[in-house]
Structure 1
Amino acid sequence: MTTLSPLRERVDAPHRLELPIHPDIVVWRPLTATDAPALGRLHAAADAVDHPDWVTPEAELRDRLSRSYVDLEHDSIAGISRTGDIVAYGLNLVDQKPSTLVRVILNGAIDPAVRGRGLGRQLLQWQRGRGQQQLAASDLALPGWILSWQPAHNESAVALARLLGFRPVRYSDTLTRDLTKPITPHEPDPAIRIVPWTPSLSAATLDAHRAAFRDHWGSQPTGEETWSGLLDGPFIRHDLTFLAVPVDDPENVVGYAVTSVFEHDFESQGYTSSYLDLLGTRSAWRGRGIASALLSRVLTATKTAGLERVVLDVDSENPTGAVGLYVAQGFEPNDDRQVALLLNY
């Protein structure tokens, strides 16, 4: 087994970052917490090209910009056009509690009206350099990742990332379940009960989520602030969220299904739906039908709520057999595939 030195000693990061120079941009500046509406307008244009079935909601952007651990002054950049609009931005996010790796995730968007003029390359170069600085600031002797997710069909974005040293390493597929088709009920082991979401079990559910995803590719422990942003956010549907608890220990969450509804996507999708954010089972409790039971409850509850489909995203190489589970319960892939582009140290 190779022993790594601290990232501070391994990552060759630029001493300072120069701001890009581009004819479509009159000024570059950091993002601020008040930029969510402008980013919402930018994403409405960009998402319509990159993934027409869904758009990044302003509320999600507002939450991202307001998180206490996000350093907007140093970890973000926004390009302002002559009209005063944000037409390009980048935001680098670092996991709060790295355990097996230090990971920088690149977020951003570019208005389609200014694409094809070299702006994407300049933005990605800045984000890569800032990501290297973020890794080089760590004393942890762990692998370091700079990670960007892109639509797999966006060949120019993938080619650009590869040109700058990133390599495609993983894919995520979107699956949908048509609820007009029959739903087969599933029950777990008799020692386990499926119960509705209970706020008092939020901390226990977060603990179960951290444990369940410990063996997933690139996963790092979810922080309390991020967890609260999801479970207390504007899109969560607690009536479509379920927990698995042992009969003899009902305060211990061993499995969970967390579901949201994004009504603003219904028109572009062409159907109404719920979105399965998370489905997980503690490793010691797998093989007892928990995931199947949770999933069938989500399907039934979503249909009862009058919605037409359930949508989810899944790692195509998920180690727990999740893809097989979803297919067995009637999920089918659509054309939306994301590719993970990685620069690692």
Structure 2
Amino acid sequence: MSEHTLIERIDALRSATPTSPPAPPDITVWRAPTEADIDGIHAVAAAADAVDHPTWITPREDIADTFDLPFIDHSRDSLVAVDADGRIVGFASAFLHPSRAGQLTVNLGGTVHPDHRRRGIGTVLLAWQRARALEHLAAVVPTLAPAESLDPPVQAWTADLKVYAEESNADQQAIAARAGFRPERWFTTMERDMTLPVPELSAPEFEAPAGVSVVPFTHDRDDDARLARNDAFRDHWGSLPSQPETWQKFVGGPFFRPDLSRLAVDADGQIVGFCLASVNEDDWAALGASNSYIDLIGVVRAHRRRGIAPLVIAGTLRAIRDAGLERAVLDVDTASPTGANTLYEGLGFHATSQEVALVERV
């Protein structure tokens, strides 16, 4: 839709937003968090993780990092629910992605401590998130460049609000559905037992295309890898260009493992594919095995269908194996345009759990 039509649609949604639901009586304070609340927020996240996805833990660093990013203002973009004892029992955020490439997305995150669920806290938090998301959009749309002037140009600007829920968390999905969100995409977690044989790069099916070689990740290629990631994921559902600040939090963070990560480069040294991995030892007890999480796998669009993806994945799997880790874990869009599910299954991964993306299209 045109920028003018988008403004009208946002204004209509804001006008039609129902009155906030009544606050649960056991919550005495609703306020914005500060950095002093990082541990309290993380305690809620950890308790929720143990119920919602018990094989992995939200790192404290992930929460702390959001207080350093220039496009997040927690005084306006986040809310915590505090009980009579002064403990945070729920938190929520509405972060507008900083990309301005034709699609605006506000990601709604947060959770409620399992001991305080089914009391209406999640409903209040989501109502606040949705209202804040629409405020974000109302403020930014008048500043947007015309859709046809973008590089590359798009037919029209779009906007959406997204909530991600574990498929097993029926309560969260029900709250989102009542607020007008609809399930739109599913993401599957897959694991690989590293005692399985790892494909040898010398095997015929893993022969590198002419001029392409697989090399370990080095930090002098940090931004080159970001640009390759943005190209590779440009046609993936819900993907927006990764920004320098958030990318540096990832590749410069405590969990990223360049020694396990691999790049495919052409004869000119340009990155044409990548498999980037991290290790968070806090996840090992939860999963019951030492493991590496494969964060990103991609091939730039001009080099797809040349066998580069299995090549870089095999390189990372060999590194994970040689590091003595017991499992490899990744997540995949079940409707990926590259057919990634089939590729990963062929490399020994099997599905373990699923997450659903619930969306409100503006």
Instruction: Give the TM interval when normalised to the shorter protein.
Output: over 0.9
Percent identity (aligned): 39
- 2:245 corresponds to: 225
State the 1:308 CA deviation. Answer: 0.6
2:82 pairs, out of 80, 83, 99, with 80
- 2:153 corresponds to: none
- 1:117 corresponds to: 119
- 1:168 corresponds to: 183
TM-score (norm 1): 0.95
Structure 2 CA distance for aligned equivalents of residues 67 and 19 of structure 1:
31
Does structure 2 retain, via aligned residues, the 8 Å contact 1:152–1:337? Answer: yes
State the 1:65 CA deviation. Answer: 2.5
- 2:350 corresponds to: 332
- 1:341 corresponds to: 358
Answering whether residue 303 of structure 2 is matched by residue 301 of structure 1, we say: no
1:179 pairs, out of 178, 187, 194, with 194
Contiguous gaps of at least 5 residues in structure 1: none
Structure 2 CA distance for aligned equivalents of residues 165 and 298 of structure 1:
41
TM-score (norm 2): 0.90
The 3-state SS of whatever aligns with 1:11 is helix
State the 1:126 CA deviation. Answer: 0.8
Deviation digits for residues 31-67 of structure 1 (CA, Å, limit 9, x no counterpart) = 1123221111111111111111111110111012221
Structure 1 CA distance for aligned equivalents of residues 275 and 22 of structure 2:
43
1:316 pairs, out of 317, 326, 334, with 334
State the 1:22 CA deviation. Answer: 2.2
State the 1:132 CA deviation. Answer: 1.3
- 1:199 corresponds to: 219
Structure 2 CA distance for aligned equivalents of residues 23 and 57 of structure 1:
31
Structure 2 CA distance for aligned equivalents of residues 216 and 208 of structure 1:
14
Amino acid paired to 2:77: D
- 2:7 corresponds to: 8
Structure 2 CA distance for aligned equivalents of residues 131 and 231 of structure 1:
28
Deviation digits for residues 215-254 of structure 1 (CA, Å, limit 9, x no counterpart) = 000111010001000000011111001111112x11x211
- 2:151 corresponds to: none
Structure 2 CA distance for aligned equivalents of residues 43 and 289 of structure 1:
39
RMSD: 1.7
Structure 2 CA distance for aligned equivalents of residues 106 and 271 of structure 1:
31
State the 1:344 CA deviation. Answer: 0.7
Answering whether residue 302 of structure 2 is matched by residue 284 of structure 1, we say: yes
Does structure 2 retain, via aligned residues, the 8 Å contact 1:38–1:86? Answer: yes
State the 1:100 CA deviation. Answer: 2.9
Contiguous gaps of at least 5 residues in structure 2: 145-155, 201-205
Q: Tell me whether 116-125 or 28-37 shows the greater mean CA deviation.
A: 28-37
State the 1:4 CA deviation. Answer: 5.6
State the 1:7 CA deviation. Answer: 3.0
Answering whether residue 122 of structure 2 is matched by residue 102 of structure 1, we say: no
Does structure 1 retain, via aligned residues, the 8 Å contact 2:3–2:157? Answer: yes
Amino acid paired to 1:316: T
State the 1:188 CA deviation. Answer: 2.0
State the 1:341 CA deviation. Answer: 0.4
